[in-house]
Structure 1
Amino acid sequence: MSDSTAAWVAAGVRSVIGAHTQAQDAGRTDDVVALYTPDAVLELPGMDPIEGHDALREAFKSWAPTQPQLHLVTNTVVTPGAEGEATATSDVAFLQRGESGWAVHLVGHYEDTLRRHEGGWRLHRRSTTFQ
């Protein structure tokens, strides 16, 4: 794989991760779900896997913010894989603004697998761990 192709993959993957974060924090459920493949799986600690667009839509709808929030995603390392697939590892901190200001509520880690789907990168699997 050429350096320019690897850079193109990394930029596309980071764009999806950033769009996901901004849409989730703004409560735009349909925009979040559109960033997943139809057969995607979301794994969260202490929960059964959430599979497919309908289940993802219900989950993200139930998690819509009721107060200002931010997922700060950083240290993303993208690894191109087989044709049309890539993985990304990121650190995340979840903050919410309450009466006393902003506070960190969770710190964790994302392990993402993305695939090319309908002309763009889409999340196929996200596994989240909390620290």
Structure 2
Amino acid sequence: MSTDDLVEIQQLLAKYAMTITQGDIDGLLSVFTPDGTYSAFGDTYHLDEFPALVDAAPRGLFLTGTPLIERSGDTATGTQPLCFVDHATHDMRIGYYNDTYVRTEDGWRLHTRAMTFIRRSGAHDSGRPHAYRRSGA
């Protein structure tokens, strides 16, 4: 992987963390491909659902670590550690994202992002099913 590709993907992921921390939904959506998805809570969400999903989530600081990335041509996969700190209670959630990236004409973008939480028990899971309820569900 070239240094330029690595830096571009790292900056893309930094933009994800900062825009979600600052509540900038348009900026957050811009890091994904138009057909991108986010998976957590036992389900996969498309970008049109992402604003409501983010709105239903607690607010706070998304601290992300350096991702481990493997590139293959114009696609790549990666894993990035996360520590979320709730703004009101300073409670933390820890885990990691498993990602796929695609090089587009606008540069590298997230294609899929899947959250895995690390529990106090040591279990790794995708969260409580139905933590976010889709309209009509």
- Which interval holds the TM-score relative to the shorter structure? 0.7 to 0.9
- What are the within-5 Å matches in structure 2 for residues 62-101 of structure 1? 62-63=56-57, 65=59, 69-81=60-72, 83-98=73-88
Distance apart, 1:117 and its partner CA:
1.9
Q: Decide whether the 8 Å contact of 2:58 with 2:86 is kept in 1.
A: no
Q: In the alignment, does 2:137 pair up with 1:121?
A: no
Deviations 1:96-123 (A, max 9, x none): 2336xxx242000111111112321111
Distance apart, 1:59 and its partner CA:
2.1
What amino acid is the match of 2:12? V
| TM-score (norm. length: structure 2) | 0.77
Distance 1:62 1:104, change over 3 A: closer
Q: Which runs of 4+ in 1 moved over 6 A?
A: none
- Which ranges of structure 1 fall in alignment gaps of 5 or more residues? none
- Alignment partners' CA distance in 1, 2:30 and 2:19: 10
The structure carrying a bigger helix percent of its residues is 1
Distance apart, 1:64 and its partner CA:
7.2
Deviations 1:79-109 (A, max 9, x none): 112x21111211110012336xxx2420001
Identity %: 23
2:67 aligned counterpart, secondary structure:
strand
- Which ranges of structure 2 fall in alignment gaps of 5 or more residues? 119-137
Q: Decide whether the 8 Å contact of 2:79 with 2:97 is kept in 1.
A: yes
Q: CA RMSD in A?
A: 1.8
